Amino acid sequence: MSNEHQTAGGISRRAVLLAGSAAAVGVGGVGGVGGGVGVFGGRGALAGQEVQGVKAEPTAGDQHRGVCVVSSLNGLRATVKAMEMLGKGADPCEAVVEGVKIMEDDPEDDTVGFGGEPNEDGVVELDASVMHGPTHKSGAVAALRNIKNPAAVALKVLRRTDHCLIVGEGALRFAKAHGFVEENILSEKARRAWLDWKENHSKQDDWLGDDEIDRWKSDPKEAKRIGEGWTREELKFHYGTVHCAAVDKDKDIGSVTSTSGLSWKIPGRVGDSPIIGAGNYCDNEVGAAGATGRGEATTVNCAAFAIVKEMENGLTPTEACLKVAKRIIDRTKEKRNLDAKGRPNFNVALYALRKDGAFGSACLYKGGKFSVNDGTGARAVDCAWVMER
């Protein structure tokens, strides 16, 4: 995100968190791009207290029942494709994998697949996981190079092996053995962004930044060679992920998370997306959950598993996402990850889809949105949120 690819779409709601002896605190909004429901009223409201329960007024998502597809905001097109396939009787896992393939194939989408931003060496490394509710089986790949559809490879791992995760060179060899074509997946846009970062992120190297180059008469606009749409602010690290989950008419569930990961990352870095229980989890008896944003934060908090567990314990999808979002906030302790107010200096978006078709989402910070298709069309919906910036 960069990675804050979440959604929200005009669901008006108020969320109330009960802590300790059920004392109500902060009312707020849902994160994304405007709108939403806030809970906790900022980091200090429940600092040091263990949240005993979360209650929120019913939302349109929490009240929905039936076939449904939920995705991060950048997966709006994925929800359309997945819903179309569910209508034709496709397995929910196949539906969501085909859905996110649209993003993976799009060179203009810098969050996943072809178009995803590379590691610090200029090499795109992709991660993805798929989980199949009816069999409670998963498949994933990590640090996969030269294959632009990691979700489809992850589905092959699920269906054709007894393994859960294959990484690096082994993942590439496995993909090629199953007919996936090895190709250059560094888009021109991503290459320019990487080169711009490499040249300008430090003066303590031999790469010359824009302000270090002698201008030539033949090229007076050299400083603007980066290309359309790029600004200096975009040189910082970005996260990029798409999550998608679906429940069909038989109440079977499938989920997928696909990513190019943190831009300019250390080669071999693996985030939460291919880790079952972190960036993706599915239990056919309960529901599915996923995450986008700072993968290290969702990994150490087992975010996707925790959301599903909270739903199993009786929370609505929105409440479950809010509770886990609060947990991430409370357990972010390293100073380098905190802002001047002692709050996380990053964002995370969490998504949940229950077996009966209820759905919800929450971000750490207000302004996020996510995508949903409940049979009445694909749309962006406001995420619930914990804090305002």
Catalytic residue numbers, as ranges? 241
142, 295 in Cβ contact below 8 A?
no
Distances (CA, A) of 282 to 239, 245, 286: 23, 9, 8
Token digits for 311? 């739903």
Beta bridge partner(s), residue 131: 138, 255
Query: CA end-to-end span of the chain, whole Å?
Result: 17
Closest C-alpha to 105, from 229, 258, 235: 258
Residue labelled with tokens 């309960």 = 286
Closest C-alpha to 180, from 202, 210, 200, 160: 160
Can you say whether residue 360 is alpha, beta or left, with left for phi > 0 and alpha for psi between -120 and 50 degrees?
beta
How many whole angstroms separate alpha carbon 253 and alpha carbon 134? 7
How many whole angstroms separate alpha carbon 329 and alpha carbon 205? 36
Phi, psi dihedrals of residue 360, rounded to the nearest 5°: -170, 175
Q: Parallel, antiparallel, or unpaired for β 68-72 and 241-247? A: antiparallel
Q: What is the DSSP letter of 99?
A: H
Q: What is the DSSP letter of 233?
A: G
How many whole angstroms separate alpha carbon 10 and alpha carbon 35? 7
Closest C-alpha to 118, from 138, 146, 92: 146
Amino acid at 192: R
Cα Rg of the chain, angstroms: 21
- Quick check: helix, strand or coil at residue 181? coil
How many whole angstroms separate alpha carbon 153 and alpha carbon 127? 10
